[in-house]
Amino acid sequence: MSAEPGLIGWDDFQRVALHAGTVVRVEPFPEARKPAWKIWVDFGEYGIRKTSAQITALYSAEALLGKQVLGVINFPPKQIAGFMSEFLLTGFHTEDGVVIASCERPVANGARLA
């Protein structure tokens, strides 16, 4: 069991831009060190952004297309094996692989987590 996380203030939480978006494109990422997908997500007014994600254990490309996900869109871009990641796809680590954080029911692309 890990230590309890430190407390943060509301302002700290407000700085994290967690938004909903819909997966519109998925491609293999053979250059990645661990199996991963290249994923493009439509975040509505924030545009289509891309990332890579090590989620191949639980998700096929077909299962990801059209799926609504939650992403952090205000991290700086990060170069990953020749691919520029523009947001962080959120999820939960399990023994079987990463389970993507998603919406319980559809919301508008770009909706912010409150």
Q: What is the pLDDT of residue 3?
A: 79
> Is the distance from CB of 38 to CB of 81 less than 8 angstroms?
no
Q: Is the pTM of this model over 0.85?
A: yes
| Per-residue pLDDT tens digits for 29-45 | 999 999 999 999 999 99
State the residue for tokens 């939480």.
13
| Per-residue pLDDT tens digits for 48-87 | 999 999 999 999 999 999 999 999 999 999 999 999 999 9
DSSP string of 35-104?
--EEEEEE-GGG-EEEEEE--TTT--HHHHTT-EEEEE--SPPEEETTEEE-SEE-EEEETTEEEEPB-S
pLDDT at 9 over 90: yes
* The domain defined by 16-100 carries CATH number 3.90.226.10: no
